[in-house]
Amino acid sequence: MSHIGAVEPEQPQSLYADHKKVYPRAVSGRVRRVKWAVLILLLGLYYIVPWLRWDRGPGAPDQAVLVDMSHARLFFFWIELWPQEVYFLTGILVLAAIGLFAATSLFGRVWCGFTCPQTVWTDLFMWVERQIEGDRNARMKLDAQPMSGHKLMLKSAKHAAWLLIAAVTGGAWIMYFVDAPTFVRGVFTGAASLQAYFFFGLFTVTTYTLAGFAREQVCTYMCPWPRFQGAMLDDQSYVVSYRAWRGEPRGKAKADNVGDCVDCGACVHVCPTGIDIRDGQQLECIGCGLCVDACNDVMRKLHRPEGLIAFETLANIAASTAATQSMPACAERLEVGMKVRHVPKLIRSRTILYSAVLGVVAAIMLGAFLLRETVGLSVIRDRAPLFVRLSDGGIRNAYTIKMSNKAREVAHYALVLEGANTARLQVVAQNAQTDAQGRPVLETRPDGITEWRVLVTAPAGLALPQSIPVSFRLLDAAGRPVARHDSVFLGPER
């Protein structure tokens, strides 16, 4: 019961906003055509690449691109990376990140709007949805209807198609880690491993959920990128912008003293995130540019110049706004506003910085790749015992030598010891070979690591220091050193 004059307690404002389903309308135009082209190219590459073959010789996988987890190798056409070369992957990730920073500072959210997997698959799922349930109005009407046979059929067909795409997508991802034809055969015959089925199912469900249901919410709530990309943008970056100086005040096409925006809502209806670009720059805007196409279409129909919504820099928007703020809505206003625009500065401090870092990292990686050795040597000295005193008074140290051969052919290298010239080097192996100069010759197995036991013996009667630095070297047939590893030779305390 309330009393006259009593003050009702104020209800706290809810911070939670209900999710409103977005029904983007189909649109055609230049930007849409570019988006289709990018989508076809990226999806084509993603689905086809695991099926490309590359002959690496007997015993080696013939899949051109393969992350071979069981043998700890990464194959990329003619390149084969070993686990210790993972820094190349790190370098590629660093290059990709800096490239993304540079692209963002020049062209805004071009990654989000055109190439991000979430955008690409959501676009594909929306296209399928449109083919089955119709465009925006038909889908809204269908969702508002009670369940019927017709609705059930359309919904089932849509979800079946989505699941099929999701399964092909999830399966393609697995094929980057296992042989593609073997995996597909295994899935259909039940011979695939439990692990393969698990990840196949996981990526299928993930694709179905993210592209079918979560859609723009991934970009708005889950993805961290929109939150810190602002640090890469400045007023010279191209972003999708509404030219309010030209569009306002909004009004009917035939009304007097109004701007070019006829408030038709076309830009809002095509937006995959359901926002109104006329409200200014927003976190939710992924920069897809579909509102540009929608508005250009409206402008063409009204016989007005295109570009009311455009990829434009904030500096130009500010310049046009300042130049036209005291002008009424008229054709001269458009002329004046467009005339004060400047070509954006592509070369500015942040783009110079990104380009410099890109160049340095790329040069380092290229240098490391060109100088990459196909043979590696590691030496581990026995620690128990540190040394052995022989019956004749000599001192012996034992070592384990590991030779890695990244080539696909057997290779032979002479092993030499430097630093303890009077010591004798002996390889413990039944089939130990020596070259013409009596040096031990080690045979490597192709694409693998070969291990050898090596004894170094200092003859009796030498006044050796307790520790002598030594280095093991591998020489090729021409006597050129190809690998080296430093170690020590230990003797008794003096």
Q: Is 175 in the site for ligand SF4 (CB under 6 A)?
A: no
- Give the largest CA-CA distance in the chain: 115
Minimum distance of ligand SF4 from residue 46's CB (angstroms): 23
Q: Which stretch binds ligand SF4 (CB under 6 A): 68-76, 200-208, 255-263, 455-463?
A: 255-263
Q: Which of 29, 50, 247, 337 binds ligand SF4 (CB under 6 A)?
A: 247
Q: Is 226 in the site for ligand SF4 (CB under 6 A)?
A: no
Minimum distance of ligand SF4 from residue 270's CB (angstroms): 6
Q: Is 425 in the site for ligand SF4 (CB under 6 A)?
A: no
Q: Is 337 in the site for ligand SF4 (CB under 6 A)?
A: no
CB nearer to ligand SF4: pick between 287 and 337: 287
Rounded to 10 degrees, the C-alpha dihedral 479/481/484/490 comes to: 40
* 101-106 contact pairs (CB < 8 A, 24+): 101/232, 101/354, 102/351, 102/354, 102/355, 102/358, 104/229, 104/232, 104/233, 104/237, 105/232, 105/233, 105/234, 105/237, 105/350, 105/351, 105/354, 106/237, 106/238, 106/346, 106/351
Q: Which stretch binds ligand SF4 (CB under 6 A): 117-125, 268-276, 399-407, 427-435?
A: 268-276
Minimum distance of ligand SF4 from residue 282's CB (angstroms): 7
Q: Which stretch binds ligand SF4 (CB under 6 A): 226-234, 261-269, 339-347, 481-489?
A: 261-269
C-alpha neighbours within 13 Å on the C-beta side of residue 225: 18
* 177-186 contact pairs (CB < 8 A, 24+): 177/66, 177/67, 177/68, 177/69, 178/66, 179/61, 179/63, 179/66, 180/50, 180/51, 180/63, 181/51
Q: Is 287 in the site for ligand SF4 (CB under 6 A)?
A: yes
Q: Would you call 447 helix, strand, or coil by DSSP?
A: coil
CB nearer to ligand SF4: pick between 247 and 491: 247
Minimum distance of ligand SF4 from residue 99's CB (angstroms): 22
Q: Which of 74, 267, 417, 442 binds ligand SF4 (CB under 6 A)?
A: 267
Q: Are 220 and 284 in contact (CB under 8 A)?
A: yes
**Cα–Cα distances in Å, from 168 out to 203, 204, 395?**
10, 8, 65
CB nearer to ligand SF4: pick between 211 and 290: 290
Q: Is 377 in the site for ligand SF4 (CB under 6 A)?
A: no
Q: Is 112 in the site for ligand SF4 (CB under 6 A)?
A: no
Q: Which of 57, 265, 328, 492 binds ligand SF4 (CB under 6 A)?
A: 265
Q: Is 211 in the site for ligand SF4 (CB under 6 A)?
A: no
Q: Are 233 and 112 in contact (CB under 8 A)?
A: no
Minimum distance of ligand SF4 from residue 409's CB (angstroms): 54
Q: Is 275 in the site for ligand SF4 (CB under 6 A)?
A: yes
Q: Is 240 in the site for ligand SF4 (CB under 6 A)?
A: yes
With both helix axes pointing from N to C terminus, report the angle between 30-48 and 149-174 in degrees, rounded to the nearest 10: 60
Q: Is 116 in the site for ligand SF4 (CB under 6 A)?
A: no
CB nearer to ligand SF4: pick between 73 and 243: 243
The amino acid occupying position 59 is G
Q: Is 263 in the site for ligand SF4 (CB under 6 A)?
A: yes
For the residues of 265-314, what is the DSSP string, one character each? -HHHHT-TT---GGG-S-TT-----HHHHHHHHHHHHTT--S-SEEEEEH
Q: Which of 172, 261, 411, 423 binds ligand SF4 (CB under 6 A)?
A: 261
CB nearer to ligand SF4: pick between 266 and 398: 266
Report the distance separating Cα 14 and Cα 12, nearest Å: 6
CB nearer to ligand SF4: pick between 106 and 414: 106
With both helix axes pointing from N to C terminus, report the angle between 117-133 and 136-144 in degrees, rounded to the nearest 10: 70
Q: Is 266 in the site for ligand SF4 (CB under 6 A)?
A: yes
Q: Is 102 in the site for ligand SF4 (CB under 6 A)?
A: no
Checking phi first, is residue 465 left (phi over 0); if not, alpha (psi -120 to 50) or beta?
beta
CB nearer to ligand SF4: pick between 180 and 271: 271
Q: Is 398 in the site for ligand SF4 (CB under 6 A)?
A: no
Sequence-distant (≥ 6) Cβ neighbours of residue 331 within 8 angstroms: none
Minimum distance of ligand SF4 from residue 239's CB (angstroms): 9
Report the distance separating Cα 22 and Cα 271, nearest Å: 8
Q: Which stretch binds ligand SF4 (CB under 6 A): 270-278, 366-374, 450-458, 477-485?
A: 270-278
- Closest CA relative to residue 196, chosen from 180, 207, 208: 180
Q: Which stretch binds ligand SF4 (CB under 6 A): 12-20, 90-98, 194-202, 291-299?
A: 291-299
Q: Are 207 and 170 in contact (CB under 8 A)?
A: yes
- Number of chain positions touching ligand SF4 (CB under 6 A): 29
Which 308-327 positions form the footprint of ligand SF4 (CB under 6 A)? Answer: 308-309
Question: How far does CA 73 lie from the centroid of its chain?
Answer: 19
List interacting residues with ligand SF4 (CB under 6 A).
Answer: 240, 242, 247, 261-267, 270-273, 275, 277-278, 285-291, 294-295, 298, 308-309
